[in-house]
Chains A and B, each alone.
Chain A
Amino acid sequence: MTDTLLFYLLVASFLWAAGLHGLIVARHVLRRVIAVNIMTAGVFLALVTLAARAPEPDPVLHALVLTGLVISVSATALALHLGTAAFSTEKPEPTTR
């Protein structure tokens, strides 16, 4: 493994750990959304770095990252929506018992 790859893997694990720390420590919804996204970026960076090990890049890992991006965007959207609902002043009508 070359030094560049090792460097990227270290950055990836740092991002993952920083996101984890933020998610556990932070209380505000927006901070937690950002922390999750930093953590996600860490995992994706690790996957992309692993894909670049061989001279011919590994397409499977790229496909995984693409799928992961879609999931992470949807999860972020849901979290933002719920966060907005939690802090909106008007009371939505209770829909079920």
Chain B
Amino acid sequence: MNFALVSLSIPLFTGLLLLMIPRYGGPWVVLSSTLSLAAAVASLVEVVDSGNQAVLLGGWPELLAIRLHLEPINALLLAFTALIQLLVSLYWSRNCRNDGFWALASLLHATLAALWLSGDLFNWYVTLELLSLVSVSMVALAGKDSIKPALNYLFLSLLASLCYLLGVAIIYGRYGVLDFQILSRMTVGDTSTAMAMLLMTLGLMVKGALWPLHLWLPPAHSRAPTAVSALLSALVVKGPLFILTLLWTRMAPMELTDKGGEFLAVMGVFALLVGGWCSFRTPLLKEMVAYSTVAQLGYVMLALGLMLQWQLRETLVALWLFVLAHGLAKTSMFLAAGEMQRIFGNKRVTALRGASQTAPVAMFAFAVAGGSLIGLPPSGGFLAKWLLLEPLFYDLQRWPLAFAVLLSTLVSAAYVFRIVTLAFDRAERGQAPSRDRVSEWLALLPALLVWGMALVSEPLILWLTRVAQ
């Protein structure tokens, strides 16, 4: 547990320090996320060796104290957050011209770490609020154009938090407990529990930009600075998803899971198709990547829904694999998109004509990340999709869903290949744009990691099957 707390405190103190002395932010954040990553990996090894751990803060008795708990999945997410943070800050320390970013990025990292480690409903509310305050400020860093989307994001996420908080109030009024592990042994399927689950689910769906409550995401994610878009898409939307998953898989009473699962699965299918279609149609490059996030989150919802409806354990493994693969792929995609946007000085998709000749490495990063989003073997995205599809084929009743997943694969192939075809057109003659080779390679790095996931696929899947519950 100590290593996990270290992994949480390093970015927290770095963030506070950088707020006071905003100088040399880049190197400091790279250093702090490396250390935090090392501590998170150590905590992962520790928790795998010696089982789940918990600590009660401040020496208060149970039910009163804030309890932090560590399970293999939490430790994995802790390491994943630090890794993405490291990759993004490596890229951004070459390009950043605003010192405000670094303090906020560190605080974002600390908030996410706190979210993974907390285990009671109210603490999650606090971390969710912190998460949205930090992300809204980061979106607004891009200047005048991004303030309106940032404000809209803030209001919607406040609305969502208040829905969630009312749900928490109902749960506390009914059971008198906030710790979800204790609640998971107590909940019964009565009206007030159903009401509370509904309110909390709706709140978390707005925060996690799950279709049809995703409308704030594309403007906010596409107007933000490049590194912020990458962090928001790869990490921030996963926070509410994590809480939603824990609420439904562990805490929800048996009577509700069936209906909830059906609802989530149907919404997931719509997210896949509608989000993919919007991504295919939009004229702006970063907005296309942002809509693809909306679509990809549909897989996570679908996996969660199937798990609840048919108690399929494989789909829970698929869910965590989607979270990891999407995080890495989307980081690479946003960084590559930002890099190309800088090289060509244009936000539109059509500016990429001939990019395979003028910015080959960045375009390669974009295409490789896109391959994982489509689910081409051998990538992390392929593993997750295969695990999701396999149980769908066994039962005739589930074939419509399998068909929907295959159709969504086609849609995602369409929006990725739309860019790739443009890039392979002949470039217009003109002066060669200025390129920064190192930052192009840094944008490629996360995409290579996601394809690397396929190399360790068997141990990864077996391990996740053992620890996912």
Contacts and interface: CB of A to CB of B under 8 A. Distances in A.
B42 interface: no
Contacts of A43: 162, 165-166, 169
A78 to B, nearest CB: 6
Contact of B147 (A23, A42, A75, A82): A82
B172 to A, nearest CB: 7
Interface string B159-182: 100100110010011000010000
Contact of A82 (B97, B151, B169, B178): B151
Given A43-B166, A95-B100, A97-B225, A86 B148 contact: yes
Contacts of B159: 20, 23, 36, 39
Contacts, number: 94
Interface in A45-74: 46-47, 50, 60-61, 64, 67-68, 71, 74
Contact of B140 (A16, A23, A85): A85
Interface string B44-57: 00000000000000
B155 A36 contact: yes
B158 A75 contact: yes
Most buried by B among A39, A50, A71, A96: A96
Contacts of B136: 78, 82
Contacts of B151: 29, 79, 82-83, 86
B137 A71 contact: no
Contacts of B165: 43, 68
Given A60-B64, A75-B129, A83-B151, A96 B142 contact: yes
Chain B contact residues: helix, strand, loop or mixed: helix
A85 B145 CA distance: 11
Contacts of A83: 151
B426 interface: no
A3 interface: no
Nearest to A85: B147
B407 interface: no
A23 B95 CA distance: 38
Contacts of A46: 166, 169, 173
B410 to A, nearest CB: 34
B150 interface: yes
Nearest to A45: B169
16 contacts: A19-B162, A20-B159, A36-B155, A42-B166, A46-B166, A46-B169, A47-B172, A60-B172, A68-B125, A75-B133, A78-B137, A82-B140, A86-B148, A95-B100, A97-B95, A97-B97
Given A74-B133, A86-B151, 11 more contacts: A20-B159, A23-B155, A43-B169, A46-B169, A50-B173, A60-B178, A64-B122, A67-B122, A85-B147, A95-B100, A96-B97
User: A-B pairs with the 3 shortest C-beta distances?
Assistant: A94-B143, A96-B225, A95-B98
